[in-house]
Amino acid sequence: MDRTARLTSSPAGRAIAYDPPPVPDSLHVRAAQALADNWTGTSTVPSRGLYPHQWSWDSAFIAIGLRHVSPLRAQTELETLLDSQWGDGRVPHIVFNPSVPLDAYFPSPDFWRSSTAGRAAGAPRTVQTSGIVQPPVHALAAWLVHRADPELSAERGFLARVYPRLAAWHRYLLHRRDLGGGGLASVVHPWEQGMDNSPCWDAPLSRVTPAPARSFRRADLEHGAPEDRPTDLDYGRYVRLATDYRDGEYADGTGEFAVEDPAFNALLIASEHALARIAHELGATGTARHTRAQRLTAALIDRLWDPAEGMFFCRDLADGRLIGERSVSGLIPLLLPELPRDIAGALVRTLSGPHFALGTGAGLVPSYDLLGEAFDPHRYWRGPAWFNTGWLVERGLRTHGERQRADALREAMLRTADATGFAEYVDPHTGEACGALGFGWSAALTLDLLHGPPPHGVSPAGTGAFDQKDKGARAVNGVKGGDRG
Which residues carry out catalysis? 196, 424
The helix (H) or strand (E) run that includes residue 156 is helix 150-156
Q: Sign of dihedral through CA atoms 208, 213, 219, 222?
A: positive
* CA dist., res. 439 & res. 31, Å (int): 9
Yes or no: say if 129 and 113 are a contact pair by the CB < 8 Å rule. no
Q: Which residues contact 51 (CB under 8 A, 6 or more apart)?
A: 45, 58, 105, 436
Measured CA to CA in angstroms, residue 397 lies from 128, 263, 352, 401 at distances of 39, 15, 11, 6
Yes or no: say if 476 and 154 are a contact pair by the CB < 8 Å rule. yes
Query: Which backbone phi and psi does 277 adopt, to 5 degrees?
Result: -70, -35
* CA dist., res. 71 & res. 154, Å (int): 12
| Residue 127, helix vs strand vs coil | coil
- Residue type, position 189, single letter: H
* CA dist., res. 123 & res. 250, Å (int): 10
- Following CA atoms 9, 458, 163, 283 in sequence, which dihedral angle do they give, to the nearest 10 degrees? -100
* CA dist., res. 62 & res. 81, Å (int): 12
Measured CA to CA in angstroms, residue 371 lies from 266, 326, 382 at distances of 25, 9, 11
Q: Sign of dihedral through CA atoms 316, 321, 173, 474?
A: negative
Yes or no: say if 152 and 125 are a contact pair by the CB < 8 Å rule. no
Query: Which backbone phi and psi does 311 adopt, to 5 degrees?
Result: -165, 170
When computed from its CA atoms, the radius of gyration of the chain, rounded to whole angstroms, is 21
Measured CA to CA in angstroms, residue 363 lies from 107, 437, 448 at distances of 35, 20, 19
* CA dist., res. 65 & res. 450, Å (int): 10
